[in-house]
Amino acid sequence: MFNSLPPLARWGRAFFALASITLLSGCDFNFWRMDGHQSTMVVDGSVARQQLEVFYVTCWVSLVVFVIVAAVLAYAMIKFRARNEADEHAEPPPQGHGNPLIELGLIGASVLSLVIIAVPTLKAIWSTYDVPEAEKKDAYEVTATAYQWWFRFEYPSEIAAVNASGAKAPVIAANELVIPAGRPIRINLRTVDVIHSFWVPKLAGKVDMIPNRANFIFVRADKPGYFWGQCAEFCGDSHAVMRFRVVALDKKEFAEWVEQQGQLARNVAATAVATTTTPQFTALRKFAQNEAGITDKFEVNPLESWRTKQLPEKDENTALIAKGRQLFSAKTCIACHSIRGHDGAGVSAPDLTHVGSRTTIAAGLLENNSQQLRRWIRDPGSVKPGNKMAKAYLENKISLNDEEQVALVAYLESLK
């Protein structure tokens, strides 16, 4: 059959086979190791591992069934094929009405293969649904709330600590969920608008976030690491770029992070050495649509990049930071965002109190560096179509010139 194709079509097929491998390699996916940021084949959590085992059982059972059926089919096709002209025109042989022994045997074999798949499946559903009873005491609780198109992460146990002492601010993060490694994490899944879905492929399967429904998911990271997450339910224009990250830390580092996030926004003294020369505010270069916002350097060791982000930026320009802080109010950013301890009480957009300590912005789409941050605040609609910030810019006629962009970026980057 294949040989009867004209040569062009044959080459076409070969080309598409090669192209699909090339395309797969384009999306950070290592074909031979079956690994990538969002691979479900190479996992880093106990829940995902159990789910992967179910996948393998199903795969092997299907493969055995496929090989047996294909072998019998091939045997029948070769053995009973037409061998000459006379065979081709012969009457069909007498039709049988089945063999009870074979039929019962096939029913038995089908039931057996379904049971082989059902037992581990039910076991996995049972044990990955919620934190096991014996580990409930050690479980850590987080609340994830989806918005079009970003995630808010709250830490209810840390908020309780605030109420007791009154000294700390609540811990509220956005788009980066920091968790203690090794511990079972119970994540409450909420949404304020449409249905979204919470998915960190290397840690656990997806669970939907449904309006007026208290869903939850149980995950556990084996060891400290940096994981890619994605909204997995179509939720509007920018669904495909509604991403997030999970950062798992050891006990000590996690405690330090909570301590840091419990602080009010960092103040940078504007009285420090003022710049003597006026900085040159160059225009930001043009970005192609869908241009990647994450650098290769970051990809090498994202967890290390995360750690670097916890520290103040080098060469902070205090005058610019003070200007940026003013602009944050003047440009009405405060209506939607809040920076606890500074200005703003908005809750409809990500809390920016510690935005400088995150590795990404725009819901995991862009790396949090001055260039990408400026790209985002200058023209958010070009990065994430349909988002509320872009609409607010239009409705309120907000625009930022080069100097204002640079000042706002300096301020946001100072918020560690």
Q: Kindly tell me which residue out of 149, 244, 257, 306 binds ligand CUA, with binding defined by CB under 6 A.
A: 149
Classify each residue of 327-344 as buried b or exposed e, where b means 16 or more C-beta atoms within 10 Å of its C-beta: bbeebebbebbbbbebbb
Identify the three-state secondary structure at position 145.
strand
Identify the three-state secondary structure at position 373.
helix
CB of 209 to ligand CUA, least distance (A): 8
Q: Which stretch binds ligand CUA (CB under 6 A): 52-60, 108-116, 226-234, 292-300?
A: 226-234
* Residue 242 binds ligand CUA, judged by CB under 6 A: yes
Instruction: With CB under 6 A as the rule, give the number of residues binding ligand CUA.
Output: 9
Q: Kindly tell me which residue out of 173, 231, 247, 389 binds ligand CUA, with binding defined by CB under 6 A.
A: 231
Q: Which stretch binds ligand CUA (CB under 6 A): 15-23, 72-80, 94-102, 233-241?
A: 233-241
Q: Which stretch binds ligand CUA (CB under 6 A): 94-102, 234-242, 347-355, 407-415?
A: 234-242
CB of 387 to ligand CUA, least distance (A): 12
- Our CB check for ligand CUA shows the closer of 150 and 257 to be 150
* Residue 207 binds ligand CUA, judged by CB under 6 A: no
* Residue 239 binds ligand CUA, judged by CB under 6 A: yes
- Our CB check for ligand CUA shows the closer of 383 and 410 to be 383
* Residue 246 binds ligand CUA, judged by CB under 6 A: no
CB of 234 to ligand CUA, least distance (A): 6
Sign (positive/negative) of CA torsion 344, 345, 350, 356? positive
User: Distance between CA atoms of 407 and 49, rounded to whole angstroms?
Assistant: 46
Q: Which stretch binds ligand CUA (CB under 6 A): 172-180, 231-239, 278-286, 376-384?
A: 231-239
Neighbours of 272 (CB within 10 A): 12
Sign (positive/negative) of CA torsion 55, 60, 63, 68? negative
User: Distance between CA atoms of 137 and 177, rounded to whole angstroms?
Assistant: 21
* Residue 146 binds ligand CUA, judged by CB under 6 A: yes
Distance of CA 44 to the CA centre of its chain: 14
Q: Kindly tell me which residue out of 152, 168, 196, 416 binds ligand CUA, with binding defined by CB under 6 A.
A: 196
- Our CB check for ligand CUA shows the closer of 146 and 361 to be 146
Q: Kindly tell me which residue out of 235, 247, 349, 409 binds ligand CUA, with binding defined by CB under 6 A.
A: 235
Contact indicator for 390, 321 with CB cutoff of 8 Å: no
- Our CB check for ligand CUA shows the closer of 198 and 254 to be 198
Decide: residue 162, CB within 10 A, 0-12 exposed, 13-18 middle, 19+ buried. middle
- Residue 91 carries which side chain, given as an amino acid letter? E
Decide: residue 147, CB within 10 A, 0-12 exposed, 13-18 middle, 19+ buried. buried
- Residue 414 carries which side chain, given as an amino acid letter? S
* Residue 365 binds ligand CUA, judged by CB under 6 A: no
Closest to 409 in 3D by CA, of 336, 334, 339, 316: 316
Q: Which stretch binds ligand CUA (CB under 6 A): 62-70, 102-110, 229-237, 292-300?
A: 229-237
* Residue 200 binds ligand CUA, judged by CB under 6 A: no
Closest to 204 in 3D by CA, of 46, 91, 69: 46
The residues, any chain, with a CB within 8 Å of residue 360's CB and separated by 6 or more, are 175, 176, 243, 245, 294, 366, 367, 368
User: Distance between CA atoms of 259 and 254, rounded to whole angstroms?
Assistant: 9
Rg of the chain taking only CA atoms, in angstroms: 28
- Our CB check for ligand CUA shows the closer of 230 and 369 to be 230
Q: Which stretch binds ligand CUA (CB under 6 A): 227-235, 294-302, 316-324, 370-378?
A: 227-235
Closest to 332 in 3D by CA, of 350, 320, 349, 344: 344
CB of 40 to ligand CUA, least distance (A): 18
CB of 236 to ligand CUA, least distance (A): 7
- Our CB check for ligand CUA shows the closer of 215 and 370 to be 215
Kindly list the residues in this chain that would bind ligand CUA in the complex (CB under 6 A). 146, 149, 196, 231, 233-235, 239, 242
